[in-house]
Amino acid sequence: MRNEPCGHTYSKAGIMQSLRKKHEVKCPVPGCNKAVRAASLERDREKEVLVLRFERQTQGVFMASQRDAGAEEVEE
């Protein structure tokens, strides 16, 4: 979720948990004094795409390492 007033991005779960406790919270980014309200949040589609790409790459690396580890066991 992107805070429109300051442009900072947060996880939806984290920022919504903070907003459940209070109607308005201070931006959690150090040095930023902008307010965060539910109405000022918007989806950050660019960051969502980056996270999905990272997750796919990480999964691919994990699968390759698992495959390689399995091949090493067979060779022994």
- Domain total in the chain: 2
pTM over 0.85: no
Same domain, 22 and 54: no
| Closest by CA position to 45, among listed 6, 5, 9 | 9
**C-alpha–C-alpha distance, residues 56 and 7, integer Å:** 26
More confident residue, 75 or 34: 34
Domain that holds residue 74: 45-76
Q: Are residues 26 and 8 part of one domain?
A: yes
Q: Report pLDDT digits (tens) over 33-56.
A: 999 999 999 999 999 999 999 998
- Express each pLDDT in 10-34 by its tens digit: 999 999 999 998 999 999 999 999 9
